[in-house]
Structure 1
Amino acid sequence: MKYLIMVLQIGTLFLFNYIGQLIQSCFSLFIPGSLIGMLLLFSLLSLQVIPITWLQSGVDWLLKDIPFFFIPVTVGVVQYINFFYGKGSLLVLLVIISTFFVIGITGLITDQLLKKGEAAHD
């Protein structure tokens, strides 16, 4: 029963992805459909129209196994290794620097939100 619930929860995530793609194609928007679906899901979760418990175990399973979703990207990079010779190596440096920048900004924002949440509970 637990696995059926997880499949339904993951199916719900795919449904929001499909709805976002449908909205994108119907209105010829420049924003990707997957992003529209994610924003729609985020809005419904924020407004508590959909309780997080309806999706929690499926999302937890996907997050637990997220490194497996990066294997195709890694294989793609290895397949085009010739691109990284010469100036392509600057791209690697840029990716590393931007990754640390994103991690730092995310950490600062999370820290501020946690402090704000603790202050609200006091």
Structure 2
Amino acid sequence: MKWVRIIFQMVILYVFSFIGTTIVNLLGVKFPGSIVGLLILLALLLSKIMPVSLIEEGAGFMLAILPLFFVPATVGVINYPELLSLHGILLLLTVIASTICTIIISGRICKIIEKKEKLETKELKEVVK
């Protein structure tokens, strides 16, 4: 039963990706449709129209198998040894720098969210008293 729920949740995530792609195609915008779908999903989650529990296990499963999606890219690099030359080093430095920036920005956003949640919890406790 757990696997059926996970597959259903993954289908929900795919539907959002499909909706985003459809919107991008209809508008003729040069922007990834999957990102638009994720932004729609984010808006629904933040507005609490859609509960997180509706996609939580499916998203967790997809994150768990995410490294498998990088295997073809790694094999592709092996097929192009010129990527390991000066251009490859520059590419590697760019990837490392962007990863560090992503980690820093994500960490700061998490801190902001955590402070906001602590403040809300504190205010709620004061109201209860």
Output the TM-score relative to the length of structure 2: 0.84
- Structure-1 residue corresponding to 2:62: 62
* Superimposed CA distance per residue, residues 12-38 of structure 1 (whole angstroms, 9 cap, x where no aligned partner): 111111111111111101211111111
Query: 2:94 matched to 1:94?
Result: yes
CA distance in 2, matches of 1:26, 1:40: 16
- Runs of 4 or more off by more than 2 Å in structure 1? none
**1:118 corresponding residue in structure 2:** 118
Larger Rg: 2
Kindly report which structure 2 residues correspond to 1:1-122, keeping only aligned pairs within 5 A, or say none.
1-122=1-122
Shift, 1:108, TM fit: 2.3
Percent identity between the two aligned chains = 34
Following superposition, the deviation at residue 82 of structure 1 comes to: 1.4
- TM-score of the aligned structures, taking structure 1 as reference length: 0.88
Number of positions where the alignment pairs a residue of Structure 1 with one of Structure 2:
122
Distance in structure 2 (CA, Å) of the matches to 1:111 and 1:45: 19
Mapped partners of 2:110, 2:104: distance in 1: 10
Deviation at 1:57, TM superposition (A): 1.2
Query: How large is the Cα RMSD of the aligned pairs?
Result: 1.6
Quote the offset at 1:45 in angstroms.
Answer: 1.2
For residue 86 of structure 1, report the CA deviation from its aligned partner.
2.5
Unpaired runs of at least 5, structure 2: 123-129
Displacement after TM superposition at 1:49 (Å): 1.4
In structure 1, how many angstroms separate the alpha carbons of the residues matched to 2:42 and 2:109? 18
Q: Tell me the alpha carbon deviations over residues 56-108 of structure 1, each in whole angstroms, 9 at most, x when there is no partner.
A: 11111111222112212222222223123134312212221221222122222
